[in-house]
Structure 1
């Protein structure tokens, strides 16, 4: 899926007249050193800095601690001047990355977007679907997630084949009204950027504009190392603003800098083999204005250096440590430094650090949220659920932990109560995801989809391969990489899903990678506004959480009948764990309660004539889906229990099926107990804690009801 790439820098001499002479410059650097181990991490921190066009101050504030002596001008550029006299030279890069601004807030509380800057990739807008964003408000950052059609509603969206653009992006911030969104501090024109992890793999730093950020890291590091006496003449180092709008920030510095003898621009990354011609028009949309400003400095040429990158322009653009070292050498050479400087790294984003430390909730839902956050981010590819199973077991109360068993299929089962009138509650531990299907010689991994994956939601995103436990020990917990993006696309969904982990097949095999290994995307559950959360695997870690909290509320000594609490495996794509449980226990059950998501049309992208259950209005009695219809008497049993205890309840029908469908043939009626969820089978699933609390209460009520 990707070609072998020669690591190189591209150097161009761009004349003020607009013609260019270019030559590729292979990185003739020293062999890799121990410092290279830290290089990808340092550059990855640069990549995660928020610098939307005209909002570069967010990144510059984060850089303040590592760049003393730099000044910020009224255009948002960061500038450092070293030395005096001749020759006079300038070394510059651009900090901003194409982003979005808030263009509107709907009456339902959704945020609409307008792009700032030209998209760096034909799938740039689509890459944001089902993923978290950072809205940079005057009061701080607000987390949102971009809406995407529910995976279970694929048949209703079969005709939606065109690539998604910015006009199709709706941002969910956990609000139900415009006033609630505004109460979070969101206003028109607030910058909006992707929320990305510090992501490295196999010597690469990865993320949006990785090459451009590596260039700025080199410029900043050279500027920090420079001293007035270290080289003759004056050197001006510039981290410029608004490249996305014609390099206006750099033009402003040039216009006020007087005569220059040399201008070196460390620019964005380019894929090896891309077009070499770099006319002045690439320096901006206002070609004549930029040309005029360059000419006013006395220059007749500009030296442009571009690092080689993989997956250019995508959300997983990747730059290698060796190319970063070469950039450092070029920045040093341009500034007259005797040697390449040490690479500076900004501190980790304080807002993200605060989010990871997550303050306890002040409402009644803190315990439920804590449990969900504990298990949601664990990988649970069908057939590889052991991490989730161990985490749930650890959270069981003492009485349940002492009785917990794991059957031959891998299901976790807790039984309590006397041997009569048995009922079971079942939630599943696995999630839609991938397994390794084959490995190409260059290391590209073809992936088999497990469950109803929405493939476009993973394309061009961070990937993680998870090793299973071997014997009594555990192999390395994961191997980082990326889901390979298409270079271009006519349709929304890729026909195949592939991943790359930075090395060839021989190295992958030597590291223990085998066909059948589990692969997921990067996972980070987060709070939205109010009582809402977003996280991959809400289907069915939310159900698993509800079942766990119900067990915690039950005194087994008071039960008048047998109750089995089951956390199943391999639900996605076959209900396999439930089938095994049914074969062993189904004939003795009076009824089965399937605890799973109710895929709701409470989204901006669905027809609310079907499956409409608003978030925040209670658990859902899932009366009908593609695999089962619950008997009227059983539905009435649930409704009566809810009304007797004042538990908010909704009823509905939706797509999909539950574990109970594999158990019902053994004679136990299947009743679905759910919570309304948005954006099913994608990384952006959304839930409301109020609904989960209601679900816990109804499970507890039904489990303890006298028979």
Structure 2
């Protein structure tokens, strides 16, 4: 599959937290030819099952690896309907008011979508002090261009609102759009499934497009509990290099996928990812994350009695804005990494990952070689 086409298709669909069904339908269509089984669970996660040749575990069952990437996007919801018909809004996820001014939006109502625009007080009427301040969400409103009585008839408090922005190619391998966080991750899983279909692998693979990550890692929590994989890799985006962010807080765009190291990452999973990258010449970059990663990996790691977890991220600029930017080569390298690691998981590798003695890895040993 073409990475740009897959990403453009997925990023062009609205999927706010709790309303991911249209994205899920597209994911199911993409994954069905690549998997043994594709289903949705009770919360709405899309789960693709790819059976391997079979690798028995000492305690019974078969060894498996879970890949997880969330498919929801940051959004707004209708908080109130004013007498004049304007909609006041609240955030569903980390919406940034600085990026919302004058944006075209869609209000998703029970009767169908309504086009609208985000407005605030005109600059001519703001005081000097107001002009120096960033507008707050409560200062913004959505205008759908209908009479007040029609607005109240068609819109309900709680209806979700998403930014209207079509994906676009920039120069070279760069692509921009809304909701690249984290349709990029779902694209990585799609390409990895395609790559895996060309390779022999012993372990079973569960690819999961998770829901409601932006409001609490909920889909990852439930799917990890239900699948109970032997190990897991979460795929998300991370901060790409751009002005205004210290170098130590970013990863270079176009230099490969970021492989996280820190408390959220099992040292043997990290080691297995880096071994796969070295063996197959896959471009990766280190990403130190000392505490919470804020990704699906954070929830998966503590599911049930604990699941050995890794985190692979695609560098992304302008996060949580309608104009996020990624490099498609990074997307492809992340997909290659997932498939390569899964194909290399044999009985010895799985025993090293989850068997006794993994705690004996010296601090820093897994990250010694890049």
Task: Measure how far apart 1:498 and its partner are.
Answer: 2.2
Equivalent of 2:104 in 457, 462, 477: 462
**Matching of residue 681 in structure 1 with residue 320 in structure 2:** yes
**Matching of residue 428 in structure 1 with residue 70 in structure 2:** yes
**How many residues are matched?**
326
Equivalent of 1:484 in 119, 124, 130: 119
Aligned partner of 1:406 in structure 2 is 40
Equivalent of 2:279 in 644, 663, 666: 644
Aligned partner of 1:571 in structure 2 is 213
Aligned partner of 1:307 in structure 2 is none
Aligned partner of 2:186 in structure 1 is 544
Higher helix share: 2
Superposed CA deviations along residues 124-163 of structure 1, whole A, max 9, x for unmatched, are xxxxxxxxxxxxxxxxxxxxxxxxxxxxxxxxxxxxxxxx
Superposed CA deviations along residues 634-668 of structure 1, whole A, max 9, x for unmatched, are 21111110010000110113585111211211211
TM (norm. structure 2) is: 0.83
Aligned partner of 2:338 in structure 1 is 699
Superposed CA deviations along residues 39-58 of structure 1, whole A, max 9, x for unmatched, are xxxxxxxxxxxxxxxxxxxx
- How far apart, in 1, do the equivalents of 2:273 and 2:34 lie? 27
- For the Cα contact (< 8 Å) 1:444–1:504, is it kept in 2? no
Task: Measure how far apart 1:572 and its partner are.
Answer: 0.2
Query: What is the correspondence of 1:336-375 to structure 2 with a 5 Å cutoff?
Result: 367-375=2-10
Superposed CA deviations along residues 224-278 of structure 1, whole A, max 9, x for unmatched, are xxxxxxxxxxxxxxxxxxxxxxxxxxxxxxxxxxxxxxxxxxxxxxxxxxxxxxx
Q: What 5-or-longer segments of structure 1 have no aligned partner?
A: 1-365, 469-474
TM (norm. structure 1) is: 0.44
- For the Cα contact (< 8 Å) 1:538–1:685, is it kept in 2? yes
Distance change (3 Å), C-alpha of 1:635 and 1:557:
closer
**Matching of residue 438 in structure 1 with residue 74 in structure 2:** no
- How far apart, in 1, do the equivalents of 2:343 and 2:271 lie? 17
Question: Secondary structure of the equivalent of 2:76?
Answer: strand
- For the Cα contact (< 8 Å) 2:264–2:301, is it kept in 1? no
Equivalent of 1:522 in 144, 161, 164: 164
- For the Cα contact (< 8 Å) 2:66–2:232, is it kept in 1? yes
Superposed CA deviations along residues 349-376 of structure 1, whole A, max 9, x for unmatched, are xxxxxxxxxxxxxxxxx80001111111
- How far apart, in 2, do the equivalents of 1:583 and 1:515 lie? 33
Task: Measure how far apart 1:687 and its partner are.
Answer: 0.3
- For the Cα contact (< 8 Å) 2:191–2:332, is it kept in 1? no
Task: Measure how far apart 1:549 and its partner are.
Answer: 1.2
Aligned partner of 1:589 in structure 2 is 229
Structure possessing the higher radius of gyration over alpha carbons: 1
Superposed CA deviations along residues 145-195 of structure 1, whole A, max 9, x for unmatched, are xxxxxxxxxxxxxxxxxxxxxxxxxxxxxxxxxxxxxxxxxxxxxxxxxxx
- For the Cα contact (< 8 Å) 2:49–2:207, is it kept in 1? yes
- How far apart, in 2, do the equivalents of 1:404 and 1:387 lie? 16
Task: Measure how far apart 1:399 and its partner are.
Answer: 4.8
Query: What is the correspondence of 1:132-211 to structure 2 with a 5 Å cutoff?
Result: none
Superposed CA deviations along residues 91-131 of structure 1, whole A, max 9, x for unmatched, are xxxxxxxxxxxxxxxxxxxxxxxxxxxxxxxxxxxxxxxxx
Aligned partner of 1:612 in structure 2 is 250
Equivalent of 1:498 in 141, 148, 153: 141
- For the Cα contact (< 8 Å) 1:397–1:552, is it kept in 2? no
Aligned partner of 1:291 in structure 2 is none
- For the Cα contact (< 8 Å) 1:436–1:515, is it kept in 2? yes
- For the Cα contact (< 8 Å) 1:442–1:503, is it kept in 2? no
Question: Secondary structure of the equivalent of 1:572?
Answer: helix
Task: Measure how far apart 1:612 and its partner are.
Answer: 2.8
Aligned partner of 2:89 in structure 1 is 447
- For the Cα contact (< 8 Å) 1:441–1:504, is it kept in 2? no
Distance change (3 Å), C-alpha of 1:399 and 1:650:
closer
- For the Cα contact (< 8 Å) 2:31–2:48, is it kept in 1? no
- How far apart, in 1, do the equivalents of 2:217 and 2:90 lie? 18
- For the Cα contact (< 8 Å) 2:116–2:142, is it kept in 1? yes
Superposed CA deviations along residues 455-500 of structure 1, whole A, max 9, x for unmatched, are 11012221211246xxxxxx43x21111112323331232424211
**Matching of residue 662 in structure 1 with residue 299 in structure 2:** yes
Superposed CA deviations along residues 571-610 of structure 1, whole A, max 9, x for unmatched, are 002111112213323xx3222111000123x1012111x2
